[in-house]
A and B are shown apart, each in its own frame.
Chain A
Amino acid sequence: MGGGIAGVTAARRLRALAPKAEILIFEQEPQLYYLRPGLIDLLAGEKKPAELTPFDRNWYESHGISFRPSAQVVELDPGRHTLTLSGGEKMSYAGLILATGADAFRPPVPGASLPGTLTLRSLQDALEIRERAQGARAALVLGGGWLGLETARALRAWKLEVTVVERAPWLLPRQLDRAGGEVLATQLNKLGIEVITGTSCQELRGDGEVREAILTGGRRLPVQLVVIAAGIRPRLGLARQAGLAVNRGVVVDDWLATSAEGVYACGDVAEWQGKVFGIVPAAREQGQIAAANVVEPGSARYRGTVVKNRLKVAGVELVCLGDTQPEGGPGEEHRYASPQEGVYRKLVLRGGKLVGAIVMGDLSGLGEVERLISAGEEVGGELKRLLTGRLG
C-alpha cells in the first residue's frame, strides 16, 4: 500500500524474490510513482513530470506489478487478511506492506487556510505552487528546514521576493549548529533570499487570498504566496483503524513487522526504534527489507540508515551526515570555518571514530568522510586533512 519510493522498492524486491506472486500497489495520488525530491526541480520549472517518473505503464506490466493510482484503501482487517477499497471492492492478501507515507504538517497558524497558502508534498502541490508563483511578487516560506530552503530557491527562479521564516534560532536546526546556520544564511542572502530566524508567523491575513503575514515581534510582510514547510506527519489513519500499534509512526521491529501478523511497514509511515527517518535512502532500504520478510519472515534485519542530507540549492553546497550534534553532545567536535568563502566544516568523533559531519561550501574529501562514517574505522592522523578538505 503506497506507490512512493518505499512501496515501489518493496514491490520490485518482491518481484525478484517471488517470481510467481501477484503484486498490487495501491496509491492514493493519481500518478504513477515519481521521484518526490525532484518536485523542487518541477517547481523551479527545470523539469517536467515525465522526467521524474522512472517507470512507465509498460514497465509495470512487463514486471507483473499492477499499479493502481487514485486508489483509496478504507479498511484493513489484519485478522482476516483482507482490505476494502473506497469503491467497496474487497480483497484478501497473503502479505501486506504499509508504505502510505506522510502528509505535510500544517501548524495551527490563524489564516493558514486562506487560498495562496500551500504545502509541498505531492506532484499536484508542486504544480499548484508553480502556477501561483506566476502571479505573485513576494512569497513567504514558513520553515527553514531542507524542504523550506529548497522551496525558497525554486521560487527565486521565478524572480519572486522570497523570505524564509524559521522558528528556531538558526536554519536546519536538527542538523546544523549555530555557526553553520549563520554561514548558510549568509550564502542564501547572496542568492536574494531573506532569512529570519528565531521568529514565527503569528497570523496570515487577506481578503479572500493571502496578502499579509504578521510575524512575532510585529513585522508585517506583504505576500501573495505562502508555502508551509513545517515537516511531515506519518499517515496513520488506516493503521489506527486496523488496530496496529502506532506512536509517531506505525511501530515496527527490526524486521519491519508491525504489531499485526503478516503486516509490515516501511518508509515515511514507519517508526523504528523511535525514529521516523523521512529520507529516500531509508525508504529504499526499508522497502527491500520489508519485502524480504513478507516472502520469508525473519530473513532480513534492519539496522538503521546513516542519515545523509544534501541541500539542493544551486550555488550552495551543503551535506550533513550521521550525528552532527547540532547542540553539542558526548562526541568530540572539530571545526574549520572560512565564512567569507561560505566554507564550514564540522566533524564529530566518538572513541576516535567519525560519527557525523557537516560539510559546507567545499565538498572536497566528502567521499572519504562518508566512507569513514559508514566503516566505523578510527580516524587517527587523517583528522586535520579531513577537516580542511583541499584547503588544508
Chain B
Amino acid sequence: MEKWECTVCGWVYDPEKGDPSQGIEPRTPFSDLPDSWVCPECGAPKSMFEKLS
C-alpha cells in the first residue's frame, strides 16, 4: 500500500501501521482516512499530504 508524507513536517503515514492515536486501524489505505483526520505530528490536514515516491 502507498505511503503518504506530510509536506509540513515530514511525518509519513504508513497504512500497514495505521494511526492508533486517532483510532485508525492498521492496513487502512490513505484514501480511506476520514477528512477530519490530521497529521499526528503537526496537526496539518489530510490535504497537505503527498504520495511518497
Contact = CB atoms under 8 A, between A and B. Distances in A.
Nearest to B5: A54
Per DSSP, are chain B's interface residues mostly helix, strand or loop, or mixed?
loop
A281 B42 CA distance: 11
Nearest to B13: A54
B11 A280 contact: no
A367 interface: yes
Given A54-B10, A280-B8, A35 B53 contact: no
A312 B12 CA distance: 18
A8 to B, nearest CB: 8
B45 interface: yes
12 contacts: A5-B10, A16-B53, A35-B9, A37-B42, A54-B10, A54-B11, A54-B12, A55-B12, A280-B8, A281-B8, A284-B10, A312-B42
A275 interface: no
Interface string A216-254: 000000000000000000000000000000000000000
Interface of B: 5, 7-12, 41-43, 45, 53
Interface residues of A, number: 15
Nearest to B43: A310
A35 B10 CA distance: 7
B44 to A, nearest CB: 9
B45 A37 contact: no
B15 to A, nearest CB: 14
Contacts of B41: 35, 37-38
Interface in A1-30: 5, 8-9, 16
